[in-house]
Amino acid sequence: MRDWFAGQALAGILAGHFADTIPHDDISGGGQAAYFAYQYADAMLAAREGGAA
């Protein structure tokens, strides 16, 4: 479930203007975008369980 949520978040990050604010150079290789996607996934899982992230 976490991976699915992260994938959905990543799709939104890359489709929206938020991706323009995340460095994705050759060094990070998109790692920053993936990091934020999992942060959103963790928040969604916490909300799903009725708690805060």
d(CA 41, CA 28): 20
The rounded mean pLDDT for the chain is: 82
Cβ count within 10 A of residue 46: 12
The pair of three-digit structure tokens given for residue 18, joined into one six-digit string? 């938020």
Interatomic CA distance for residues 1 and 51, integer angstroms: 17
Cβ-contact 38, 4 below 8 angstroms: no
pLDDT at position 19 is 64
Hey, where are the domains in the chain?
Answer: 2-48
- Where residue 23 falls among pLDDT bands split at 50, 70, 90? low
| pLDDT exceeds 60 at position 30 | yes
The pTM for the full model equals: 0.74
H-type helices in 1-53, by residue range?
2-15, 31-48
pLDDT more than 90, % of the chain: 42
